[in-house]
Amino acid sequence: MTENLFKSASSFALVAVAGLMAGGVAARAADLGGNCCADLEERVAELESTTARKGNRKVKLTVSGHINEAVLFWDDGRETNAYVVSNNNSRTRFRFVGDAKINADWSAGYLLEFGLRYADSRTRTQSSASGSSVVASNAANVIDIRHSAWYLDSKTFGRVWVGNTSTAADSITQIKLSNNINLENDPTRQSGGFFLRNANGTLASATRANLKSGSLNGNVGEGDRANTVKYVAPVFAGFTFSAAWGSDDQWDVALRYAGEFSGFRLAGGVGYQEIYTSFGAGNGGCTNAGPGGVVSATESTSDCNTIGLSASILHVKTGLFVNGSWGRLQDNNRRNLAATARNEDSHWFIQGGIEQNWFGFGKTTLHGQYINSDTGASIFNGARVAATGLTGAGPGTFLAGAQGSEFGFGVTQEISAAAMDIYVNYLHSDIDVQYSVGGGRTGAVDANIRSFDSVIAGAIIRF
C-alpha cells in the first residue's frame, strides 16, 4: 500500500514537473516566437522593397538585357589612342517584357526597353573622353527609351503593336545566323564620331558618321524604331510578313524568311520604306527642304524611299557561313538644296567565316568582311553637312559625296555557362570624299582623307 502510494506520488511529481517545464518552455517559445515573427516580417518587408515584383498575378513579367563594354584602339593616320567605350554595335540595355494569356488563341503584353549610352563608341572623337555632340541623343551618360509599346496577339490572325518600337523594316539589313553581332555592317557604330583627318594632318569638322546616310542608322535601307502601329502576320511556310505606319504618315513593309534544308540554315528578308518626315525630324538620311531649300515648319516636305535586304546561310555540320546585305536610299528633295546634288545612296556588304565549338565551353566564330558604300550629297539631321576644315574648302561648301571601302576581320568566343561572348574585331577604312559649293556635283573637288584603323575588344554578358 505504502509502495503504491509512493509510486503514485512519484508519478504525480514527475507529471507536475513536466507540466511546469512544458509551461515554461511554452511561455518562452511564445515570447521567442513573437519576436522571431516580428523580425521575419520586417526582413520580408525589407526584401520586398528591394526586389522587382509583378504588379499583379495576371501578367507574366520577364526582366532581361545585356552589358556590352569594350576597349577601342584607333589610328587616324596621325594620332593613335585607346578608349574604354560602351560598344554601340549592340549597346548596353535592359528590358521588361509582359505577357498575359487571354484564352487559347489570344494574348496581350508589352515591351519596355531602355538603352544606356556611356562613352558611346559611335560618338567618341580624337579629343573626347566621353562622347561628342554628333548626335545629341547619343551623347555620354544618356538613358533613352528604345521600346515602349503594347501588343495584342492571336495565333490565328497575328500580332498588332502600338507605341514606340521597331517598324517593319528595322534590322532588315542585319540578318545573320552567325554569332558575331559585335561588328555590324555599319562601321560608324564602332568609330563614327571621329573627325576626318586631312592628308596634311589637320582635322575637318565633318565626322565619319556624316559620310553615311541618316542621323540614326548608317546602313542604307535599314529601318528604325519610331512611334508606330505595326502588324506582324503569323508565320507561313517559314515566311513572316509585317507592315507599319506612323510618325507623320511614314510607312514600311517587310518580308522575312527562316528555314533549314539538307543541313543548311537559311534566313533573309527584304523591306521597303516611304518616309514623309515633318519639320525637324531628319529621319533616315532624308532632308525635309522644300523648293529653294526652304524647310517648312507647318507641313511634311520630305519625299524619300529606301529598300534594304539581307540574307544568311550556315552549313550546320561544318559551321561555314556567309552573310550579306544591300540597300538603296532615294531622296527626292536633295536637289532643292543643290540643283545637281546626287540624291541616291547605296551600300553592299559581304561577310564569311566559320563557327565551331572547338574548346568545349562555347562556339568560336571567325569571320572576315568587306563593306562598300556610296553616299550622295551628305544629309545629316535633315540638313547639308558643311565641308568646314577640309583642305581647300571655302565658305558655302558642303559634302557632295563619299565612297567608302572598308574591310575587317575578328573572332568571337562564346562562354555558354556565363551567357557571355568575348570578342576582338579589326576594321580598316578608306574613304574618298568630295565637296562643292552647295553640295552639288558641279565643281566637286576630291578631298584627300587619311585612312582609319580601329580595333575593338570587349565582352557582352546577358542576363
pLDDT at 122: 83
Q: Pick from 445, 438, 449: which is nearest to 392 by CA? A: 445
Q: What is the C-alpha separation between 250 and 305, in angstroms, rounded?
A: 10
Summarize pLDDT for 235-264 with one digit per residue, the tens.
999 999 999 998 767 899 999 999 999 999
Rounded to two decimals, what is the model's pTM?
Answer: 0.83
Number of domains in the chain: 2
8 Å CB contact between 158 and 231: yes
Q: Are 19 and 124 contained in the same domain? A: no
Structural domain including 47 reads: 1-52
Q: Pick from 361, 240, 261: which is nearest to 314 by CA? A: 261
Residue 139 C-alpha cell reads as: 551623347
User: What does the mean pLDDT of the chain come to?
Assistant: 83
Summarize pLDDT for 273-308 with one digit per residue, the tens.
988 754 333 455 677 666 656 555 555 566 788 999
Residue 291 lies in a domain: yes
8 Å CB contact between 107 and 131: no
pLDDT at 27: 40
Summarize pLDDT for 133-146 with one digit per residue, the tens.
444 444 557 788 99
Q: Are 77 and 42 contained in the same domain? A: no
3-state secondary structure of 364: strand
Residue 250 C-alpha cell reads as: 511614314
CATH of the domain at 321: 2.40.160.10
Summarize pLDDT for 23-49 with one digit per residue, the tens.
443 343 344 444 556 677 776 666 665
Q: Are 335 and 236 contained in the same domain? A: yes
Predicted confidence (pLDDT) at residue 425 exceeds the cutoff of 60: yes
Q: What is the C-alpha separation between 84 and 405, in angstroms, rounded?
A: 26
Residue 214 lies in a domain: yes
8 Å CB contact between 403 and 387: no
Residue 279 C-alpha cell reads as: 519639320
Summarize pLDDT for 352-403 with one digit per residue, the tens.
999 999 999 999 999 999 999 998 888 776 678 899 999 999 988 999 999 9
Predicted confidence (pLDDT) at residue 94 exceeds the cutoff of 90: yes
Summarize pLDDT for 41-73 with one digit per residue, the tens.
776 666 665 555 666 778 999 999 999 999 999
pLDDT band of residue 3 (cuts 50, 70, 90) is very low
pLDDT at 291: 63
